[in-house]
Structure 1
Amino acid sequence: MIFMHIFSSLCVRTLTNRAHAIGDELAALFLLANVCLMVMPAAVRADETTGTARIELLHLWRTPGEQAALHVFRDALSDPSMAWFDTPVQGGATGVRKQLSDLLAAEAQPNIIQWIPSEELNQLFDLGVFRTVDTVDEDFADKLLPEIREVAETDGVLRVLPVGIHTYDFMAYNRQLFERLGIELPTSWESYLALGPLLAESGVPLLSVSDENWQLTAMYRTLMISEFSKEEVLSMARGEADLETYRNRFETTFEILFELRRFAAPDREDLRWEETVARVERGEALSILLGDYIVAAFDDPDKLICARSPQSSYIPWGFDSFVFTHVDDPVLLQGQTRFAKAASDIDNIVNYVMHKGGLPVISGVTPDQLDRCNADTLVAWQKRPLLWEGLLQGKNRIMAMNAVIVTIWRDETITPAQAAERVIDAMSRP
């Protein structure tokens, strides 16, 4: 017993130090967590519920629209025997991972976590961080879109509970400005950028944008869609492609990026994404270029004109899901079981997407079951090549590229050729 207490204390200190030291290197942290948790006594909750089921959910949904989407599942579980506690965190998916690391170190991991899957998912299961989802109806996996099932299921067992797809080649325009100025929907970056001077005469910026790292890199990655095929992007990410052969196309993407900066709204330093969206809804900018999750931040989606980004040749996508942690408490286990039932209900999934934007993960949905923006996304999904962004996450070349985009954006003296050189140099380093 003395050894166990000493080792438990050592694990907590070590895990906490490692969590701050290695940042996103979660696999290494979770490997240590797995060893520690095998010998640590189960954590005792100070505020135990008297009900029969309890949900402790960690997620990244802070805005009212995102909260409304999450509450579709909460409301489906509303009864006296269910206790619901959810914790939204700052910092997006990275913030969720960091918070989970800290909770593991404190022996207080939640029983459910909102997760955006990538290739690292299987590693985390192999390390024992998450458990499989085995309490949904037997035919639920059969209802999933093939692209989702391929990622969510391993050896016939669901490892994540998927709920909604997001596409990232998405633009939204302020409908009132669009109609008042008599603008036609741009079909190329050239025609889109040509709107900049016209709007400047009216005192309206072309684009609402933030230089917050993840927003800016997401926007730049969307520019790449018009210059690089999905096969080329994958080859680039895997370290297979000769980057020098792409130099001219990198220059083209930076020519577009710098023109976007020229016509972008001012006061954009570290602007939260929901405020970036709000500027478009208020008519303070014509458009925004981010994923279709931005629909959740609009008070009135009818004020939008939704479209794909100009010259989009394929659709990059990811999906929202939930993962379950290993817990022994019967109350927490029952919470997982009941949550799985609610989050795998087809009507709940469609209702969730109506609030959150994007697409349901299930097959058989038709455009008339969705609102205008989501219906347009479904039509595009069915017609265009698809690229799961999870294949790019954690790849050294992609991370290196993302790391220099913000500094390039903020340096107004750099030329497109110099920017291309900087990106190629960063991506070429071991």
Structure 2
Amino acid sequence: METIILAVVIAVVVLGALGGLIVGTRRRKSLPPPPPKAPDITAPPAEPHVGEEAETPRDEPRRTIEEVDLPGGPPVAVEEPPVPAVEAPEIEIPEPTAGRLVRLRTRLSRSQNALGKGLLTLLSREHLDDDTWEEIEDTLLTADVGVQPTQELVEGLRERVKVLGTRTPEELRGLLREELLKLVGTDVDRTVKTEPADRRPGIVMVVGVNGTGKTTTTGKLARVLVADGRTVVLGAADTFRAAAADQLQTWGERVGAYTVRGPEAGDPASVAFDAVKEGKEMGVDVVLIDTAGRLHTKTGLMDELGKVKRVVEKHAPLDEVLLVLDATTGQNGLVQARVFAEVVDITGIVLTKLDGTAKGGIVVAVQRELGVPVKLIGLGEGADDLAPFEPEAFVDALIGD
């Protein structure tokens, strides 16, 4: 019995010793570090420091952004670029019109005197037989003089040559000059009517087929009038071509003429009406109305041209209706002229591109066809190459020196 009790006591002692050893071992092990505390979001963030400043943080006042020196020197103030001022276009002083055709005679004679030289060569032959006179007729017809004027000229020349007998070059030139002047006409009033006696402004409408230089001619005519001391308002009634109104306005700005425009594809008659109204209110001397380039085969468009004329005449009657024809079109230009004459009363003709053809006889033919005079001719692309038509200077250029 005692032996059993002793064994139990020994077992208890051994178990206790083992338990103490295990507990002591656990206590000697290092505990894991506690988890980091969550930052206090209300506290200001710590400022980073370098070197010695980390030991003793300084309590310094903060500098403003203006006091901090940025890299690269002091800040440069950026200025807004100035808005460029819109300058008014410089007003040009057009070349005086007096004697302008005489000054351009050399240019005209270079391309036109083929007619005069051809006629003088034929007339200088020793024997002027029927074949020679037929050649003279062919030369005149080729120059677009027209059948009836050609017959008149040949008959006059034959009669005078027969009477003259001996023919020197100077006598032939004088003879031909006199006969051509008869055809062209020297007793016709070729003044562009822009100064009605009882009112202002004078009203001029410019008509013609597309491609004849109608809008350009209107702009050049404005220069002619300004050169003669007149004030001008331009009416851009060609509303079917946006470029036409821009082009006309540019011509006007160059000489200080105001341009009345309308919306693209708007009513041309309305623009023409407003142009005359503006001209009256501004007290200008002349209103020039550029119309759309009507195709003579389009009946509706031609009717509209008649409407423009009627609407304008609610203000006052037209003083001039100028038909612009391309001299290079020859007899085809006469067909156009007939149709326009039926729609509006043509009072004068402007022949453009006359320096680019040897067919100067169109001057005679178109006057005979319409019964109205050529009043202006265009001799080139220059701004001042539109000249009043002077029969003597023109014939002298035809036959040469």
Place the TM-score, normalised by the shorter chain, in its bin: under 0.3
**Which structure: greater strand fraction?**
1
Query: Which structure ranks higher in relative contact order (CA pairs < 8 Å, sequence separation ≥ 6)?
Result: 1
What's the TM-score once normalised by structure 1's chain length?
A: 0.24
